[in-house]
Amino acid sequence: MILLLSIPIFLTIWEIALFIRELKKNPFDESWAIDALVFIFGAIYARLYGVYKWITWEDWNVQLVNAERHAPIYTDSLFTVVVIFIIAFAGYVLLQRKELTKMPPLVVVHSISAMYLGMIQLIVYTIQIVGAKIDNDPLDYSVIVLPVCCGIITARTILRKIHEWKEQNTTNDKILENKILRVADKILRKADLWPVLAFLLMFPLLGILIMILILFGQAPDSIIKAWTETSEWALSTKQSPPNLHVDEHYLCTVAAGGHRKIVKPIRKGIRHGHEVIVNRQLCIANAFEEVLQEKTPRAHRLIRGFYDKYGFPVAKLIRHKWSADIVYFLMKPLEWIFLIVLYSTDVHPENRIAVQYTGYKK
């Protein structure tokens, strides 16, 4: 765990050291490898954080269970968010891997603009997460590490290209013959102005991206809806329905968490004083346990002890509909065995099954 938490800090310190070397005009040629580690571990840590925080990919209007949280990004706008990150990464790769002598200044400036867009979006995402302060967990602030590293990477990449441009001196006679082109060329050749020009060109670039994304079915304001059409987060404007409490009994989790067409929930029931979703498999299993307790209490205690030790940890692993479906199918043979025992020992087995989780006794 200590190693896992120390990696982001180590990468951040390394990126700062690389930036200082760039300021001293002593760049590290293999800095792209360190950047690659930042991107890879950034993606891994984002996923681990989502699992730790029970973040789902369900929109605000879906009722969740227990500690689950709705998606911090509106799923209908997710395509827009992903495309902007891809464009930003493409701009970085172009600047990092392509020789400046083979790149027109305008292409360089547009690549910087793309990186700006990615950075702004990453900052918005960080605000969305950290600004929510749902449970005041200090771990929320670990999300800041990725945008800090990416900001350093962006600044270092821009600085490197400015230094490279100043070291070369090329002219184009055809451009010098045209007054308008001569003025434009003069502006673009001032490498110190590239960050400012990139900021100005960022808005036309964003407009072009939005128009292209509209052709793929994205709404014109999808870049705004991505953050506002959510619930529970810093920029959210929606109020989601309250979470349904699901018992950590793993068959309760299956009945409530699987696809309805597969696990076939039949009604709500009562367990330990709160509502649970029940299906026939759950009722059969509970009826079998009831019979076992009546007929062989010693065997029941042993089986119950084994279940309490291993069943509840298994239930915590069931976080997706498909995993609940798998457990449902794996339990089918046991369900049939339970049913055979019930029909062999009980005069009215269906009555016993029917009253499970109703608060009544057979």
**pLDDT tens digits in sequence order for the chain, 362 residues long:** 565 667 788 888 888 998 898 888 887 778 888 899 999 988 888 888 887 787 888 898 887 776 788 899 999 999 999 999 999 999 999 988 888 777 777 788 889 999 999 999 999 999 998 887 766 777 777 788 889 999 999 999 988 888 777 776 555 444 455 454 455 555 556 667 778 888 888 888 888 898 889 888 888 899 999 999 999 899 999 988 877 655 555 566 676 667 888 888 888 777 766 677 788 888 888 888 888 888 888 887 887 777 666 666 666 666 667 777 888 888 889 889 989 989 988 888 898 888 888 866 65
CA dihedral 139, 141, 146, 148 (to 10 degrees): -150
Q: Where are the domains of the chain?
A: 2-228, 250-354
pLDDT of the residue at 168: 67
Distances (CA, A) of 129 to 49, 122, 141: 11, 11, 9
* pTM (two decimals): 0.67
With CA atoms as reference, report the closest residue to 327 among 240, 262, 270, 245. Answer: 262
pLDDT, residue 185, reads 56
Neighbours of 325 (CB within 10 A): 18
Residues 6 or more apart whose CB falls under 8 angstroms from that of 110 comprise 91, 198, 201, 205
